[in-house]
Structure formats: C-alpha cells, structure tokens
Structure 1
Amino acid sequence: MKDVSLVVAYKLVIYLADFLEDVFWSQNQAQLKDPDSEEASEVDHWDDETIWKKYCEAVRSQQGLAESIDGYGQIQIFRITDKVIVKQTLGRTFDDAVQVPHEALAMEFVRKHTSIPVPRILRTIHNKGTEGELFYAMDFVDGQQLRHVWPTLSIWGKLRVAWTLRSYIRQLRRINSTLSSVPGPLGDKPQTCIGFIFEGKRQTSFPSMEALFAWFHGIINMRRTRARLPPTEYDPFHDCKRMVMTHMDLNMRNILVGKDSRIWIIDWDWSGFYPEWFEYVSMFYAEKFTNGPVSWMRCIPFVTDPYIKRRRWLEES
C-alpha cells in the first residue's frame, strides 16, 4: 500500500512537470545542434599516430583525470590538449569477430537525435597491440561530477538538475529507430549487454525482446526455486511494446555540471535499447551500491518514472 501511495504521488508531480515542459520549454529543448556549426577541433588534422603519441606523452607525464579511475585502480582518461581527452575502453560484440565502438556509436546517435549535451567524439582508434582495446579522442567537458556538486546545491538547484535529467530521459524515449528492435548496445547484430540489472553477467546477448524477457523470467524462476518460493504470476514486461534508448549507468559520476551551467551526460558504454523501466532500476542500484545521498535517491523515480513494483520483482525473488 505504501508503494502505491508513493507511485501516485510521483506520478502527479511528473504529470505537472511534463505538462509545464511541453507547454513552455519543449520547443527550445527540441532544437538539435547543427554539426556543421560546431567549432573545429585542433586534432581534426592529426592522424591516428599523432594522437597516439600525444596520448602516450600524457600517460608518461601523468595527465590523467583522477575521477576516471576504474574499479581496478586504472586511470581511463588522459588529457592530451586543453580541449581534448583520450579515453581507453573495450569494444564488444556478439561473436567477437569485430570489436564495435559502442560508446562512440551511442554518443553520436544521441547527439544526432536529441539536444542532450554529450561530448563530441573526434576519433576512434583501435589498438593493434591489444585485441578489443579502443581509444576515443573526444572534447573535454570543463565541469564537476554531480556527486561533488549535489551537496552544495539549494533545493531549487537540485530540482533543476532532476527536472533537466527527466527532460533528457524523455528525449531518449522519443527516439524512433529500427535499431530498437534488438535489445542491447548499438550494432549491426546482437551485442553483449552490460549493466547492474544483468548481475555482472557480461556474456549476455539477445536477438529479440522476447529473448530478453525469457532470460529474466528464467533468472527469477531459478532464484525462487532455490529459495523454495512459489512461482510469481507478475510479468514486468506485460506492457513493453517497444524498447527505448537507455543510458544504463546514469549515476552521479556520469553526470557533469559544466562551467557553462549545462548538465552533461558522459560514459555511454553500457547504453542501448531496453525496456523503459531498466533506466530506473539501473539508477537505483548504482546509487544504492555507492550509498548515494538520500535526496538524490528520492529524485530517481521522478527522473525515470517510479517503476517500484518492477524493482521489487527483481529484489524479492
């Protein structure tokens, strides 16, 4: 009963927020950036070897961004000029025949179809020495991670961030693409899906929505059998008619508050087409595991819609 009341309260606030956005701000936010009008980058005329040399120099001179340290303690991003960074990552694909630059594809896709501030990919470089290793040269965003800024914001500042993020999520969900028929990251064939919701299983690919649904039902049924619980009749996918573009790792580290006051979204490596409620569950788990601020946790159902019952379905099995 408590969950029902909470969902109703969130939906009322969401209805009002969406109404105000559609009436007063939707036209301004719908204006997409013209790629031809963007400022040229200093690396546009560099070849891959030059960028690679600059990257190696940055590594040797310890020009890495401390906030890009991964779970293994390795710095992933190095600044090669005042306005350009290089990020190290891994490509993934279903059959490992060709490594697909998922993050670059996703970022350019989002930049093309929305007005969400996303860093511009300047170059994708395949490391011939290490199979599957990719390097992205991209614009440097001068700003701070939301986790550092959030405690300093007033209540109105926090509401502005939450409302802006909700607008971004709505834009992502409005994208129509033939790619949305296959779950997972962008690619010309089923790609490996990664995210908190997949429980760390990194070899999971799905040729269709039905295959994705069946996989989750199988996981839940197995859990319930082990726990000696009766089967559940609830189907969290019952109203899923289409999949939407989803970030899948929208935590406070991947949201930047720029010095230009814009809210930037970075690290699209886990993104892809999934059911709408995956964004909510992914955001919730990301902050739960890192003990995110209570005030931020309360904003998540507003940003993504309150899919609380579907999260319970995953947790209680």
Structure 2
Amino acid sequence: MSDEEAIALLESCYSSPRLGPLNSFGYRAAVWRIAPDTVAKLLRSPVEVYLMNLASSQTSIPIPRIRRCITCKGQQFLLMEYVEGSDIYEIWPSLSLWRRFRVVWTLRGYVQQLRALELPNKGIPGPIQASGAPLLCQGHYFSERGAGPFGSYAAMTAWYNGRSRLNSVLLDPSIRNASMIPESKTFFDDSMPLVFTHGDISPANIRLGKDDTVWLLDWERAGAYPKWFEYANVRAYDRHHDNDESGWPRGFDWFIPLIAGWYKTQLLFLKNNATGIGHYGFEGFD
C-alpha cells in the first residue's frame, strides 16, 4: 500500500465509527480500521513508535506490527497491524475461570518483562527517547496538560510533593498564604527504581486473539516510572458506570495485584492529592 493509497483510505474512514469502548465522556479512541488487516491511530506522542519497537525487540510481548507513519490533513497517523480477536472488556464475562487466570498470569509475565528491560536513559523519568531531552509526562496521574519534562527522578518527586501542598490550598479556602499550608504527612514514594512501564494497561488495550494470544496495545503512555506506577495506572480503570464502557469488567479488579503487585499506600497518595495533581498553571509548588 502506497502513502497515497493509505491517505485515501484515511480520508474515507475519518468520519466513520472509531474502535474501542465509550469512555465517561461518550468518546472512543482515535483509532479506525482502514483495511481488513490495518488500523490507523492518531499519533499524539512522537515517541510511541520508538517505545513499541523497544518493547517488541527486548521482550516476547505480542505487539501489533508497525506498518508506517503518514501525515494526513496536517496530523500524524500510525498504521499498524489489525489483530483479529476481542478486547477484554468485551469478552471477559464469557471466559471460563481457567481462561481468565491464564490471561491474568500472562499479563503478570508481561509486566515483569517490562520491569526487567534495560532503560536507555537511566535516572530520567517519563517517555523514553533514543536521544534528546525527556518529553512531557502525560497520563492518569499528571496534570490536565501533562507535567515536566523532568530532568531527574528527584525533580519528579519534588513535583508530586509540591502538588500535595497545592492540594491543601485548593481544598481549604481558609489558606491565604504559604505559611498557612500544613506540613505534609505523606510523600511521593521514590524508594523504588524507575522501570519500563506500559502506563495504560486497560480493558481496551488487552486483546485476546483468535488463538488465545494475549496482545498488549496502545503504548502512548509508556515510559520510565517508579515500579509501583503500573499498579496505579491499572487501578485507574476501577470504575463501573453504566455510561462508561472503559472500566474493568466486574471481577477483574481482584486480579490486579497479581498482575502489577500491590501498592495501596502509594496509590492512596495519588488519590488523596488528585485535585492538586490534576490542576495546572500554579507556580511555586514544585
């Protein structure tokens, strides 16, 4: 398929239904099936292709093959192999207990492989690049417009602890100046090493192939983060709302500690300071 043919397919499919579940805002991911064996994804992170290649070259994790990147209407699209099968949010209720355990145990192995992967830029958290400065960190536990880029692990730790102080200011209108901010009692846990983290293991990013192969999709939020961060990101989908198809199917949450470990205290820090972490535009809190 030439670039011209791919662009023509994209233009014809751009207004067609997207793939994946509806989120709480009523939207699906910016992914379209443009051919029987190919999907196109709107590329938001310039390093996603590199991260996918890094993970596929150093692990045995099944990851869709990259076909090419093209520009269409001023935007970058990633063309990838379409994997025949069903996403976990669709098929989980129909799986036997044994098949459920097999999926979970396989995911556990994937997380362990990623954590053992050699990081190209040790000591610098965030998206991993082959070269150059670290990029903006984005995802569930960063501000609305992202955070960083951080030049060191210590800098990211300082940002989170600063956001904890900001959280106190935002939730207590009686605080009028810095001297009134109470001393923090909990802090961001930076005692564990930075490891390769998928960052978005979710019901729509785990696909069970026709042959029962467990595929891991969407590497946009992958990067170098504390070991416990994978657990926190998996837990971000602990929701069961009628208008939100993107949460874990009922019963899956019991298996999350087996997949990514159990880091309840670290997750509680993020949840308790969610208001401060999610805001942007405040100076002097990092």
- What TM-score do you get using the length of structure 2 for normalisation? 0.81
Q: 1:222 to 1:273 in 2, by over 3 A?
A: same
Identical amino acids, percent of aligned pairs: 28
- C-alpha contact (below 8 Å) 2:119/2:195 kept by paired residues: no
2:35 and 2:266 map into 1 onto residues whose CA distance is 45
Give 1:68 shift: 6.7
State the partner residue of 2:41. 87
Change (3 A) 1:69 1:135: farther
> Conserved in 1, the CA contact under 8 Å of 2:38 and 2:81?
yes
Q: Aligned pair 1:307/2:260, yes or no?
A: no
Partner of 1:194: 138
d(CA) in 2 for partners of 1:118 and 1:212?
A: 29
Task: State the Cα distance separating 1:303 from its structure 2 match.
Answer: 0.6
Equivalent pairs counted in the alignment come to 257
Q: Cα deviations across residues 66-87 of structure 1 (Å, max 9, x unaligned)?
A: 4277757466223332212222
Q: Deviations over 1:229-288 (max 9, x none)?
A: 853444442422x31111111111111111121111111111111111111111111233
Q: How many Å separate the matches in 2 of 1:214 and 1:85?
A: 40
**Residue 219 of structure 2 corresponds to which residue in structure 1?**
268
Unaligned runs of 5+ in 2: 173-180, 274-286
Unaligned 5+ segments in structure 1 are 1-42, 92-99
The counterpart of 1:280, out of the listed 217, 231, 236, is 231
Which residue in 2 is equivalent to 1:154? Answer: 96
Matched, 1:207 2:162: no
Assess, with a 3 A threshold, how the Cα gap between structure 1 residues 285 and 75 changes in structure 2: closer, same or farther. Answer: closer
Q: Give the match for residue 78 of structure 1.
A: 32
The residue number in structure 1 matching 2:114 is 172
Q: How far apart are the structure 2 equivalents of 1:85 and 1:73? A: 18
> Residue 310 of structure 1: CA displacement?
0.8
Relative to structure 1, the CA distance from residue 258 to residue 74 in structure 2 (aligned partners, 3 Å threshold; closer, same or farther) is closer
Aligned residue for 1:288, secondary structure, equals coil
Partner of 2:284: none
> Partners in 1 of 2:31 and 2:236 — Cα distance?
25
Q: 1:239 to 1:68 in 2, by over 3 A?
A: same
Q: TM-score, normalised to structure 1's length?
A: 0.73
2:4 is matched with which residue?
A: 49
What SS does structure 2 have at the residue aligned with 1:115?
coil
SS at match of 2:267: helix
Note if contact 1:249-1:286 (Cα within 8 Å) is conserved in structure 2: no
- Going from structure 1 to structure 2, the CA distance change for 1:156 and 1:217 (only over 3 Å counts) comes to same
- Looking at structure 2, the residues matched to 197 and 279 of structure 1 have their Cα atoms a distance apart, in angstroms, of 11
Tell me the residue number matched to 1:31: none
Distance of aligned partners of 1:122 and 1:199 in 2 relative to their CA distance in 1, 3 Å threshold? same
CA deviation digits over 1:35-83, x for unaligned, max 9?
A: xxxxxxxx3xx2x2232123223346x4x54427775746622333221
Q: Distance in 1 between matches of 2:266 and 2:113?
A: 22
1:123 corresponds to which residue?
68
Are the equivalent residues in 2 in contact too, given 1:69–1:76 (CA < 8 A)? no
Do the aligned partners of residues 72 and 106 (structure 1) sit closer, same or farther apart at CA in structure 2, a change above 3 Å counting?
A: farther
**Residue 314 of structure 1: how far off its partner (Å):** 2.2
Residue pair 2:161, 2:188 contacting (<8 A) in 1 also: no
Relative contact order: is structure 1 or structure 2 higher (C-alpha 8 Å, sep ≥ 6)? Answer: 2
The answer on whether the counterparts of 2:68 and 2:80 sit within 8 Å (CA) in structure 1 is: yes
Structure 1 CA distance for aligned equivalents of residues 126 and 230 of structure 2: 13
Task: Give the deviation of 1:145 after TM superposition.
Answer: 0.9
Tell me whether 67-76 or 277-286 shows the greater mean CA deviation.
67-76
Q: Match of 2:30, as an amino acid?
A: Q
User: In angstroms, what is the RMSD of aligned CA positions?
Assistant: 2.4
